[in-house]
Each structure stands twice: as C-alpha cells, then as structure tokens.
C-alpha cells in the first residue's frame, strides 16, 4: 500500500464538515476505497486497516476533501 489512500463514506453516509469526517474516521466507521489505480478500489476499510496511512477523504457529496494523517 502507498502512504496515502483516497476514501469516501460507506453505506450512503455523507458528512457536511471535515470535523465530522475526522470523528467518524477516528471512531472506526467504514469507508470505501475510491482509487481506480489501487487493486483495493471499492473495498471497505476503516482506520483499523490503515493506522499508519494518511487518509484523503471526500465528503459533502464528494465535493470537498480532507486529509487525516497517522497519529492525528
């Protein structure tokens, strides 16, 4: 895996702010990998799967992006 992964909220969830995304990621909510260049594209994951990876998470109907680094 690379040092950064692109994700979107799973199960039809969406978030309206970066702080909600951060809380959901840290709470272990599921996200879907959204990176067509990755062999894992479309798979479900959470922080438990990528504790040492920076997560680039799209939210607000995929219009906004936030980065959450490891250890944040």
3-53 pLDDT tens trace: 899 999 999 999 999 999 999 999 999 999 999 988 999 999 999 998 999
Cα–Cα distance measured from residue 9 to residue 65, given in angstroms and rounded to the nearest whole number: 12
Q: What is the DSSP letter of 12?
A: T
Q: CA–CA separation, 12 vs 69, rounded Å? A: 24
How many CB atoms neighbour CB 13 within 10 A?
13
Tell me the whole-structure pTM to 2 decimals.
Answer: 0.90
Q: Is the pLDDT of residue 1 over 70?
A: no
Which residue ranges make up each domain of the chain?
4-68
Cα–Cα distance for residue pair 5/1, rounded to 1 Å: 8
Given this model, what pLDDT does residue 18 score? 97
């Amino acid at each position: 895996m690379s040092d950064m992964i692109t994700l979107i909220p799973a199960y039809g969830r969406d978030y309206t702010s970066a702080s909600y995304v951060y809380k959901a990621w840290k709470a272990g909510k599921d996200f879907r990998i959204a990176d067509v260049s990755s062999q894992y594209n479309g798979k479900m994951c959470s922080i438990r799967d990528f504790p040492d990876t920076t997560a680039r998470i799209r939210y607000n109907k995929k219009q906004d992006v936030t980065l959450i680094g490891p250890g944040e």
